Structure 1
Amino acid sequence: MQLKSLFIVFLTFVFIGANAQQSLKLWYKKPAGIWNDALPVGNGRLGAMVFGKTGSEIIQLNEESLWAGNQTNDNNPQALAHIKEIQQLLLNGKNNEAHELATKYLLATPPNFRSYQTLGNLHLDFANTTDVKDYQRSLDLETAIAGVNYNSNGLNYKREIFASAPDNAIVVHITADKPKSLNFKVSLAREQDAAVNAVSDNTLLLSGQIMDLPSDDEGKGGMDMKFNAIVKVISNSGKTEAANNGIMITDASEVTILITAATDYNLNKLNFDRAIDSKKTCEDIIAKASAYKYETLVQRHLNDYKPIFNRVKLDLGGDDLSNLSTDVRMDNVRKGTVDKQLTSLYFQYGRYLLMGSSRFPGVLPANLQGVWNDLYQAPWKSDYHTNINIQMNYWPADVANLSETMIPFANFVDQNRVPGRVAASETYGAKGWTIHHATDIFGKTGIQSGIHWGTSPLASVWLCLNLWDHYRFTADMDYLRDKAYPVMKEAAEFVQSFLIKDKNGYLVTAPSMSPENTFILPNGQQDQITYAPTIDIELIQSLYDACLKAGKLLNDDPEFLRGLSQTLTKLPPIQISKRTGTIQEWIEDYEEAEPGHRHISHLLGLYPAEVINPSKPELFEAAKKTLERRLANGGGHTGWSRAWIINFYARLLDGEKAWQNVQALLQKSTLNNLLDNHPPFQIDGNFGGTAGIAEMLVQSQNDYIELLPAIPAAWSNGEVSGLLARGGFEIKMKWEAGKLINAEILSKKGNDCKIKYGNTTISLKTKANQTYQLNKKLKL
Structure 2
Amino acid sequence: MINISLLDVKRLRRCKLVKGSFLIICLLGCHHDLSAQTQALKLWYNKPSQKWTDALPIGNGRLGGMIFGGVDTERVQFNEQTLWTGRPRAYQREGAVQYLPTIRKLLFEGKQKEAEALAEQHFMGKKDNEDDYTTLKAAWYKSVRNNTAPAATNYNDQGWKHINLPTEKGWETTPGFEGLDGAVWFRSTVNIPAEWAGKKLVLSLGRIRDIDYTYVNGTLVGNTDTTNYRRYKTPASVWHTGTNQIAVQVINFYDKGGLTSAYKELMVYPEDSTPEAGIPLSRTWKYWIQDDNVPAFPRYNADYQPFADVYLQFPKHGDVTGYKRDLDISNATAHVTYTSNGTTYTREYFSSAPDQVIAMHLTASQPGKITLNAVLKSLHKAVTIRKIDDHTLELSLKVRNGVLKGVTYLKAESSGGTLNVTNDGIAIVGANEATFYLAAATSFKNYHDVSGDPDAACKQTIQKLKDKSYAAIKAAHIRDYQNYFNLFSINLGEGKNAGMPTDERILHFNNVDDPSLISLYVQYGRYLLISSSRPGFMPANLQGIWNDLLTPPWGSKFTTNINLEMNYWPAEVLNLSACSQPLFNFIDDLTQTGQLTAKAHYGAHGWVLHHNTDLWRGTAPVNASNHGIWVTGAAWLCHQLWEHYEFTHDKEFLRTRAYPVMKSAAEFFVDFLIKDPKTGYLISVPSNSPEHGGLVAGPTMDHQIIRDLLKNCIAAEKILGTDAAFGKVLQGKYNQIAPNKIGKYGQLQEWMEDKDDPKDDHRHVSHMWGVYPGTDITWNTSALMKAAKQSMIFRGDEGTGWSIAWKTNIWARMHEGDHAYLMLTKLLSPADAVPNHEKGGIYHNMFDSHAPFQIDGNFGGAAGVSEMLLQSQMGYLDLLPALPSALPNGEVKGIRARGGFTLNLSWQKGALQQVEVRSDVGSPCTIKYQGKEISFPTQRGKVYRFNGSLKQL
Superposed displacement of residue 690, structure 1: 0.3
Query: For 1:84-163, what aligned pairs fall within 5 Å after superposition?
Result: 84-110=101-127, 112-163=300-351
Indicate how the Cα distance of structure 1 residues 202 and 594 shifts in structure 2: closer, same or farther if over 3 A, else same. Answer: farther
Superposed CA offset, 1:614-654 (max 9, x none): 111101111111111100xxx53200000000100110001
Residue of structure 1 equivalent to 2:632 = 458
Superposed CA offset, 1:380-432 (max 9, x none): 00000000000000000000000010000000011111110000000000000
8 Å contact from structure 1 (residues 197, 243) kept in 2: yes
8 Å contact from structure 1 (residues 184, 248) kept in 2: yes
> Paired residue for 2:941, among 763, 769, 772?
769
Residue of structure 2 equivalent to 1:217 = none
Mapped to 2, the partners of 1:199 and 1:284 lie a distance apart of: 13
Counterpart code for 1:545 = K
Mapped to 1, the partners of 2:462 and 2:617 lie a distance apart of: 31
8 Å contact from structure 1 (residues 612, 620) kept in 2: yes
Superposed displacement of residue 594, structure 1: 6.8
Superposed displacement of residue 449, structure 1: 0.9
Superposed displacement of residue 101, structure 1: 0.7
Residue of structure 2 equivalent to 1:655 = 817
Is 1:197 the equivalent of 2:386?
Answer: yes
Residue of structure 1 equivalent to 2:361 = 173
Residue of structure 2 equivalent to 1:379 = 553
Superposed displacement of residue 195, structure 1: 1.3
Is 1:755 the equivalent of 2:927?
Answer: yes
Superposed CA offset, 1:536-579 (max 9, x none): 1101111111101111111221111100000011111100111x
> Paired residue for 2:767, among 596, 602, 606?
602
Residue of structure 2 equivalent to 1:352 = 527
Residue of structure 1 equivalent to 2:742 = 576
- Secondary structure in 2 aligned to 1:449? coil
Query: For 1:206-355, what aligned pairs fall within 5 Å after superposition?
Result: 206-212=395-401, 224-267=403-446, 270-274=447-451, 276-333=452-509, 338-355=513-530
Residue of structure 2 equivalent to 1:554 = 720
Superposed displacement of residue 725, structure 1: 0.2
Mapped to 2, the partners of 1:153 and 1:338 lie a distance apart of: 37
> Paired residue for 1:672, among 844, 847, 855?
844
8 Å contact from structure 1 (residues 19, 320) kept in 2: no
Residue of structure 2 equivalent to 1:54 = 71
Counterpart code for 2:320 = V
Superposed CA offset, 1:224-268 (max 9, x none): 01221111001122211111131000111111110111112123x
Superposed CA offset, 1:183-215 (max 9, x none): 101111112222121111210111122231xxx
Is 1:743 the equivalent of 2:920?
Answer: no
Counterpart code for 1:557 = D
User: Once superposed, what is the RMSD of the aligned Cα atoms?
Assistant: 1.6
Residue of structure 2 equivalent to 1:185 = 373
Residue of structure 2 equivalent to 1:714 = 886
Residue of structure 2 equivalent to 1:521 = none
Indicate how the Cα distance of structure 1 residues 91 and 142 shifts in structure 2: closer, same or farther if over 3 A, else same. Answer: same
Is 1:433 the equivalent of 2:607?
Answer: yes
Mapped to 2, the partners of 1:289 and 1:139 lie a distance apart of: 24
Is 1:693 the equivalent of 2:865?
Answer: yes
Superposed CA offset, 1:467-500 (max 9, x none): 1101111111111111111111100000111111
8 Å contact from structure 1 (residues 157, 177) kept in 2: yes
8 Å contact from structure 2 (residues 59, 351) kept in 1: yes
TM-score of the aligned structures, taking structure 1 as reference length: 0.92
- Secondary structure in 1 aligned to 2:915? strand
Counterpart code for 1:312 = F
- Secondary structure in 1 aligned to 2:779? coil
Mapped to 2, the partners of 1:148 and 1:239 lie a distance apart of: 23
8 Å contact from structure 1 (residues 636, 645) kept in 2: no
Mapped to 2, the partners of 1:739 and 1:272 lie a distance apart of: 56
Counterpart code for 2:372 = F
Superposed displacement of residue 107, structure 1: 1.6
> Paired residue for 2:660, among 468, 482, 486?
486
8 Å contact from structure 1 (residues 125, 185) kept in 2: yes
- Secondary structure in 1 aligned to 2:65? strand
Residue of structure 1 equivalent to 2:188 = none
8 Å contact from structure 2 (residues 495, 513) kept in 1: no
- Secondary structure in 1 aligned to 2:499? coil
Counterpart code for 1:289 = L
Indicate how the Cα distance of structure 1 residues 748 and 140 shifts in structure 2: closer, same or farther if over 3 A, else same. Answer: same
8 Å contact from structure 1 (residues 29, 325) kept in 2: yes
8 Å contact from structure 2 (residues 911, 948) kept in 1: no
Counterpart code for 1:195 = T
Mapped to 2, the partners of 1:106 and 1:761 lie a distance apart of: 53
- Secondary structure in 1 aligned to 2:394? strand
Residue of structure 2 equivalent to 1:215 = none
Indicate how the Cα distance of structure 1 residues 593 and 87 shifts in structure 2: closer, same or farther if over 3 A, else same. Answer: farther
Unmatched 5+ stretches in structure 2:
1-33, 128-298, 830-839
- Secondary structure in 2 aligned to 1:419? helix
- Secondary structure in 1 aligned to 2:430? strand
Mapped to 1, the partners of 2:696 and 2:569 lie a distance apart of: 28
- Secondary structure in 2 aligned to 1:333? coil
> Paired residue for 1:621, among 764, 778, 786?
786
Which deviates the most, 683-692 or 474-483?
474-483
Mapped to 2, the partners of 1:240 and 1:54 lie a distance apart of: 21
Residue of structure 2 equivalent to 1:13 = none
Residue of structure 2 equivalent to 1:726 = 898
Indicate how the Cα distance of structure 1 residues 277 and 176 shifts in structure 2: closer, same or farther if over 3 A, else same. Answer: same
- Secondary structure in 2 aligned to 1:251? strand
8 Å contact from structure 2 (residues 759, 794) kept in 1: no
Mapped to 2, the partners of 1:593 and 1:272 lie a distance apart of: 50
Is 1:637 the equivalent of 2:825?
Answer: no
Residue of structure 2 equivalent to 1:4 = none
Indicate how the Cα distance of structure 1 residues 154 and 374 shifts in structure 2: closer, same or farther if over 3 A, else same. Answer: same
8 Å contact from structure 1 (residues 22, 315) kept in 2: no
8 Å contact from structure 2 (residues 107, 697) kept in 1: yes
Mapped to 2, the partners of 1:392 and 1:590 lie a distance apart of: 28
Mapped to 2, the partners of 1:180 and 1:594 lie a distance apart of: 67
Unmatched 5+ stretches in structure 1:
1-16, 213-221, 519-527
Residue of structure 1 equivalent to 2:27 = none
8 Å contact from structure 1 (residues 716, 738) kept in 2: yes
Query: For 1:516-527, what aligned pairs fall within 5 Å after superposition?
Result: 516-518=691-693
Structure showing greater Rg: 2
Residue of structure 1 equivalent to 2:96 = 79
Is 1:502 the equivalent of 2:672?
Answer: no
Superposed displacement of residue 127, structure 1: 1.4
8 Å contact from structure 1 (residues 22, 341) kept in 2: no
Mapped to 1, the partners of 2:560 and 2:638 lie a distance apart of: 11
Please identify which structure carries the higher helix content.
1
8 Å contact from structure 1 (residues 509, 532) kept in 2: yes
Counterpart code for 1:655 = G
- Secondary structure in 2 aligned to 1:122? strand
- Secondary structure in 1 aligned to 2:107? helix
8 Å contact from structure 1 (residues 717, 738) kept in 2: yes
